[in-house]
Copies of this chain bind each other. A is one copy, B any other.
Amino acid sequence: MKKTIITISRQFGSGGREVGEKLAKDLGIPFYDKELIEIAAKESGMDPELFVEDDTRTSLGFHLIGALGYSLGGPLSTITELSLNDRLYLVQSQVIEQVAQEGPCVIVGRCADYVLSDRDDVLNVYIHANMNDRIKRAVHSYEVDERNVEDSIHKIDKRRANYYEYYTDRKWGRAENYDLSINTSTFDVDGAVQIIKDVIKD
């Protein structure tokens, strides 16, 4: 099955977002990241309340039971107990499912690999880098305070890991979650883009 939808998970400062943007540009397909998915969710006018009464029949309900049921150690008794964050996750997941349904695209973050795990046209990529390069990128591209930069990087990674592990039954950063994991300290951003283009072209 040809892989036309690429999800990218990434360590903070690894250049993963840049890999995703360049890849989408090179392939001439849409690019979605956290901000764009949030905007799309808002613009869609989707109300999380809509899902409440009919949870078992939507794929979102399925993801929710799968993800939260697992994380919380048992099935949810009522879906109305969802927090605002959980509802946001649901709406964003539906946006991800919709954009994937519309055709080839690149999606960065938001557990897209997990949300789309039932599709077989998805390539899941993890982008990481050595700490020294992540520090340089964090200071240069994200203007993180140089004095506490390594601490900041660890905190952001931890937030991403917590988010991922809360909504999925997987450990963030483990190679086995992905089809391909690439170190941009070895291959740099352009090298990573090339590797991905090579593996999906067949």
Question: Which A residues are closer than 8 A to B by beta carbons?
Answer: 11, 123, 126, 128, 173-176, 178-183, 186-187, 191, 195, 198-199
Contacts and interface: CB of A to CB of B under 8 A. Distances in A.
Contacts of A187: 179, 199
B173 A176 contact: yes
A159 B97 CA distance: 39
Contacts of A11: 176
B186 A123 contact: yes
A186 B179 contact: yes
B175 A181 contact: yes
Nearest to A3: B186
Nearest to A14: B176
Most buried by B among A178, A180, A198: A180
9 contacts: A126-B175, A126-B181, A173-B174, A175-B175, A179-B187, A180-B182, A180-B183, A187-B199, A195-B199
A124 to B, nearest CB: 9
B176 A128 contact: yes
A128 to B, nearest CB: 5
Contact of A174 (B123, B175, B191, B198): B175
